[in-house]
Amino acid sequence: MLDSLALLDAVLLNTGVVPTFNGRQGSSVVDLTFVSESLAPRVLSWTVSGSYTHSDHQAIVFEIEDAGTSTRPSTRQSCRWNARTLDADRFSAVVSGASVAPGTAEDMASSLMDVITGACDASMTKANPRRRREPVYWWTAEIADLRRSCLRARRLFQRSRGRQDEEAHGANYASARRLLRAAIKTSKRRCWRQLCDEVDSDTWGRPYRIAMSRLRGPQTRQPSSPLLVRGAVAALFPRVPSGPALQLPRRAGELVPAVTLEELKGAQSRIRERSAPGPDGVPNVALKLAIAARPDVFLRVYSTCLETGVFPMSYETENQLELQLFLLFLT
């Protein structure tokens, strides 16, 4: 075996003396983790997990650094808010007490967005991009308690090796493990019957989602060639030369009517609350509340943009307010 691994240039990751196998006759390190020499420098950690695995073998957890991960800290932070935690009264109070000083179209639009983002910070929690994985459909509170008891019994049994109470702790661990397995088997059988009954009443409900999660195909492999990646990015996202803000042609002496309240309410009604927010992360429901709280501020900002023919638009700082400026006058 060693000769075969030597030909493969494999590197052993196992460290420490924590056993990977715990049986009735004893414990040992029989589970080995090998990686190639090119992958070894990217291994961040290797540990033997203490979680219950429903087996005599312990789970082995190791982390590998992504090859495309940059070591430089990111300068752009996510500012998406959780719309479910929105306190409408607090949001409206913050927006109502704010003001936007007269100035250029860019400055007024930027100040208005600062007011909206500040109100979002005061009335909502930030959304966590890492969603917590839901437990399996057959998991119950009883199984969770039995699992904790089983883990505790196993730790006591491992610590009692070579002592007088080893046999007693071994019997307790075997009993706790037997109860946990029986509870899991009973819960699986009961929940499976419930899922079969739910299919008739809710075709696209939980049974459908569970079945589809098992039928997902493997993820497509990402291209590794830098030239191929650059070519695809250049074709999909062509570079746009940065320049001054868009200015609409305007005839000499032409009077530009101010934005009316009816037009503002029309743009507000076209905002879908359940649609995904823009790059700024401001929920659409918050944007509608802001318009309802201070329509005068929005009217002044919109009228200034229309009067000067300047509509702030940046590919790096694009926000929902600026998109609504275009929707307001194009519809």
Q: Report the SS3 class of residue 21.
A: strand
Residue given tokens 């839901």 in the structure block? 134
Radius of gyration of the chain (CA): 30
Q: Which two tokens stand for residue 325?
A: 């400026």
For the entire predicted model, the pTM comes to 0.45
Residue 144 and residue 149: Cα distance in Å, rounded? 9
Q: Minimal CA–CA distance to 118: which of 89, 75, 79, 76?
A: 79
Q: Which pLDDT score is estimated for 91?
A: 93
> What is the mean pLDDT, run by run of 10 residues, along the chain of 331 residues?
60 82 82 81 85 82 71 49 89 90 87 89 79 78 93 89 87 93 94 87 81 69 74 82 63 74 86 77 88 91 82 50 48 47
Give me the pLDDT at residue 1, please.
58
